[in-house]
Structure 1
Amino acid sequence: MAGNRNPDVDAWFERYDNPQKDLVQAVREVILGADERVTEAVKWQAPTFVYRGNLASFYPKSKAHVSLMFHTGATLPDPSGLLEGTGETSRVAKFLDPDDLDAKADALRGLVAAWIESKG
């Protein structure tokens, strides 16, 4: 378990009632484990990952899969094609199940690393 967890986010998860709860937690662990400088907070009524700005937030109402919105994902290099969307700014990463997360975990860590590098 990562040492950069926020008790406010832990409390949010205690109240979170969603069939994807375990998978959301697993995505959380991958992101927090990718770099100890990444922290988390509850913003927009959902867990949000932060490092010198808002990196990504969960869509907590998604029940078919886990959706993680990268606030400025359009600016991040995404060689694996993990991010979906065509908007000018944000992009979304979707995770269908634990196997899908396992397959995409390295790409997710790469996005975290690219974000940190872009923030100097």
Structure 2
Amino acid sequence: MDAWFADYSNPQKPLAQAVREVVLAADPRVTEAIKWQAPTFVYAGNIASFYPKAKAHVALMFHKGASLPDPTGLLEGTGEVSRVAKFLDHDDLEAKREALTDLIRAWVSARA
């Protein structure tokens, strides 16, 4: 994954790396892979993938986000399956850190 980020040319690269750190710190069982040409977080299935082309923010698509508890409303979207979390800057990530961590832990807990 480090090689992918080394080649990632995007103004949101530092923020994407910070989001990555939050996701990986949520649970040590979460791993990473490159799927669909994007970093994807995995545990007993695909949890979420970055939209690497977003430049105004960092977008993290939760593949089955509609099934996750989201009491803070972090996830956006109305589709039947996926949802997206957006992070505008480092302050926004800090404000949403706990909600993001809770989503990752909910996914892992439901599949452990």
Which category describes the TM-score, using the shorter chain as reference length? over 0.9
Q: Report how many aligned residue pairs link the two structures.
A: 112
State the 1:119 CA deviation: 0.7
Q: Which residue in 1 is equivalent to 2:46?
A: 54
Q: Which residue in 2 is equivalent to 1:43?
A: 35
1:18 aligns to what SS in structure 2? coil
Q: Which residue in 1 is equivalent to 2:70?
A: 78
Cα shift readout 1:3-52 (whole Å, capped 9, x = no counterpart):
xxxxxx10000100000000000000000011100000111000000000
**Paired residue type of 1:92:** V
- Measure, in 2, the Cα distance between the counterparts of 1:68 and 1:112: 12
Unaligned runs of 5+ in 2: none
Cα shift readout 1:71-119 (whole Å, capped 9, x = no counterpart):
0000000001000000000000000000000000000000001001111
**Paired residue type of 1:45:** Q
- The equivalences for 1:1-120 within 5 A come to 9-120=1-112
Unaligned runs of 5+ in 1: 1-8
- Measure, in 2, the Cα distance between the counterparts of 1:34 and 1:116: 10
**Paired residue type of 2:19:** V
Q: What's the TM-score once normalised by structure 2's chain length?
A: 0.99
- Measure, in 2, the Cα distance between the counterparts of 1:42 and 1:79: 29
